[in-house]
Amino acid sequence: MYHTGIEAPQGIWWKPVHKSEKIWVSIAFAWCMVLFAMMPLWHLRGGQNPSGIRHRVDANAYRARVAEFIAQYQVGSDRGMPVVAPPPGSDVYLQAQMWSWLPVLKLEEGAEYVLHLSSVDVNHGFSLFPLNVNFQVVPGYDYGLRVRPTAAGEFEILCNEFCGVGHHLMVGKIIVTPAAAAGAPASAEGARSEPQASGVHQ
């Protein structure tokens, strides 16, 4: 026996759909619509979008800008790496390259900065330990994030994008000093107990 497609198939397929199947299809369809609506909704309301300003940048131009930034605000050095303390409100530059983060940044708790991230060679990943902050660092793009450190301390920058044999050695540092003035607004209610919420803010 073979089937031609012209004759009606055998069985009882023409009987009305069972009620439970109708319910199931309705639920599945409604859920599909919910998930579909979540996509634009989360984009607008999810608070997940980086506060980024993106520009194309030439690797050499970025390298020069980082060098200028270091020369301007260097306050010391840490194992051969310059330590840079830019004033609150300023533009801060971090350069990723195989296999280091340049320079060590010294920021003030509660102050706002624009943190520029770019790579001068391959893709790297910026993740701030132990906070839940993750960004791609892409050559050719200057990614400016508006950040406000909400907890004082030392934070490690770990590379989370495989970038060659020295990938696991690619560790940088951000030092956050406690808010300078006594009774400064940011120090009263620290985000110390809530690491996920701190780090990068809109």
The nearest distance, CB 122 to ligand CUA, in angstroms, is: 7
Q: In terms of CB distance, is 97 or 198 closer to ligand CUA?
A: 97
Nearest residue (CB) to ligand CUA, 124 versus 148: 124
Q: Which is nearer to ligand CUA, 21 or 121 (CB)?
A: 121
Q: How far is the CB of 166 from ligand CUA (least distance, A)?
A: 8
Minimum separation from the CB atom of position 57 to ligand CUA (A): 18
The minimum distance between CB 159 and ligand CUA, in angstroms, equals: 3
Using CA atoms, how far residue 95 sits from 13, 33, 73, 89, in Å, is 65, 43, 15, 19
Provide the total of helices (H) and of strands (E) in the chain, helices listed first. 3, 12
The binding site for ligand CUA (CB under 6 A) comprises 99, 124, 159, 161-163, 167, 170
Q: Which two tokens stand for residue 170?
A: 């690619």
Q: Is the CB of 117 or the CB of 152 nearer to ligand CUA?
A: 117
Closest contact distance (angstroms) between CB of 137 and ligand CUA is 8
Pick the closer one to ligand CUA by CB: 104 or 170.
Answer: 170
Q: What is the 3-state secondary structure (H, E, C) of 21-78?
A: HHHHHHHHHHHHHHHHHHHHHHHHHCCCCCCCEEEECCHHHHHHHHHHHHHHHEEEEE
Tokens representing residue 45 in the block: 């309301």
Contact 145, 93 (CB under 8 A): no
